[in-house]
Amino acid sequence: MTVVITGATGFVGSRLLRGLLAGDRRVTALGRDGAGRPLADRLQSALRACGAGDGELARARERLTAVPVDLTRPGLGLKPADHARLAEEAEAVWHCAAALSLIDTAEGLFAVNVTGTRHIAELTDHSPAHVPLLHVSTAYVAAGADPEPDLPGGQALPSAPGAVTGYERTKQQAEEVVRAWAESRRRPALVLRPSLLATDRPLPPDAARQPLSSLSTYLATLIEQLPPPLRSSILHRRALLPRIRLRLLGDPAAHVNIVPVEYAVDAALRLAALPHRAGVTTYHLVHPVETPAALLVAAVNELVPGVEIVLQPAVDRPNLIEQQIAPGLAAFLRQHQPGPDGGLAPLHVAVPGLADPAPLGIAYLRAAMTFLVPGTG
């Protein structure tokens, strides 16, 4: 028997893979060969980026099988016999793979996020009846949704109708695929909804980018497009020169739910070990203490010392740079504000023994973004 996982080279999937292998289980990772590198090599690099040493990597090679697939193709692009064998040998199916973008349309993300989920559900459909499908979604498909009071711990939530970005829409649709499959087949499925995942641990340049990087990556791209003198003044504050003040549309009193990926993965593995009932059970993998948006902005200001970014509820006559930054920041804040419903029971209620993470400070946020800003780190 083997645990099947998709997205194992990604930010959260690679850490789940490492946790599964630490439990001495055999794991089959489904993914794609890419950039001239076979999937097996990409998995080794992903594990090393998570902190795995030579000994751990050697043990992983003994228990980890890489199977190249195409999530968007029927049968995952596998031969029917190989598809059937993979399903029959599965003891659990983790679906972590997804296309993440703040600006792509739902149409552009549909093939991976929705069709890919449907193909993974079809694979699980041919596995033994007790095998669960564990689907990694996002907490922000449920912003403002109310918990269903008849379920233990207030942890199960309906999908929210207010998804705005293409990513939110397709992740919501993917959840609907999982829910329809579980209900029609009377099979167990867990939907795991992390909020904004981050880590303050050093990452090599080729590591999977953390979701928190979407903001700093967007800013870094814009900075790279500026004329060299202006770019230099933004990245390296000059003596006697004032900082460039950028007013961005946003609520200065807002909060963002940022959760350490190590905590979220620990919670996910503990939840997966619980008994599973037929149908869908949904859990939010969120930080019990939300981070002030102003603190996140302060961290960005430290990374780009020539700039002072301020959030304002209204911006009158924005300049060219403010106009360029505003759409990306608005998409980022729309995805990550407000946080999931505060009425949910904390994860340690659903998972005894799971300690809450400490509140995040500016040093943590800076460490999580430093290597993505040109000229820093």
Mean pLDDT calculated for residue range 130-158: 61
Task: Classify each residue of 175-199 as buried b or exposed e, where b means 16 or more C-beta atoms within 10 Å of its C-beta.
Answer: bebbbebbeebebbbbbbbbbbbbb
Confidence of residue 365 (pLDDT cuts 50, 70, 90): very high
What is the DSSP secondary-structure string of 114-160? IIHHHHHHHHHHTS-TTPPEEEE--GGGSTTPPPPTTSGGG---PPP
pLDDT, mean over the chain: 83
Residue (of 97, 71, 102) closest to 168 by Cα position: 102
CA distance 75 to 273: 28
pLDDT of residue 78: 97
Query: Is the confidence at residue 344, as pLDDT, over 80?
Result: no
Query: Does residue 212 contact residue 157 with C-beta atoms inside 8 Å?
Result: no
Quote the crossing angle between the two packed helices 213-224 and 228-235, to the nearest 10°. 140
Between 313 and 131, name the one with better pLDDT: 131
Mean pLDDT check: name the lowest of 126-130, 193-197, 270-274, 324-328: 324-328
Beta strands in 258-299, from DSSP E residues, in sequence order: 258-260, 279-285, 291-292
> Could you read off the pLDDT of 251-268 as tens digits, one per residue?
888 888 899 999 999 999
> Could you read off the pLDDT of 280-303 as tens digits, one per residue?
999 999 999 999 988 988 888 887
Mean pLDDT calculated for residue range 226-246: 65
Count of residues making up the chain: 377
Quote the crossing angle between the two packed helices 39-49 and 54-63, to the nearest 10°. 140
> Could you read off the pLDDT of 7-58 as tens digits, one per residue?
999 999 999 999 999 987 899 999 999 778 999 999 999 999 999 999 999 9
What are the extents of the domains in the chain? 2-198+257-285, 213-255+290-337+358-372
Both tokens assigned to 275: 């008994």
Q: What is the pTM of this model?
A: 0.85
Between 69 and 143, name the one with better pLDDT: 69
State the CATH class of domain 2-198+257-285. alpha beta
Query: Does residue 285 contact residue 352 with C-beta atoms inside 8 Å?
Result: no
Q: Which letter does DSSP use for residue 37 in this model?
A: B
3-state secondary structure of 349: helix
Radius of gyration of the chain (CA): 21
Backbone angles phi, psi at 70, to 5 degrees: -125, 110
> Could you read off the pLDDT of 84-138 as tens digits, one per residue?
999 999 999 999 999 887 667 889 999 999 999 999 999 999 999 999 999 999 9
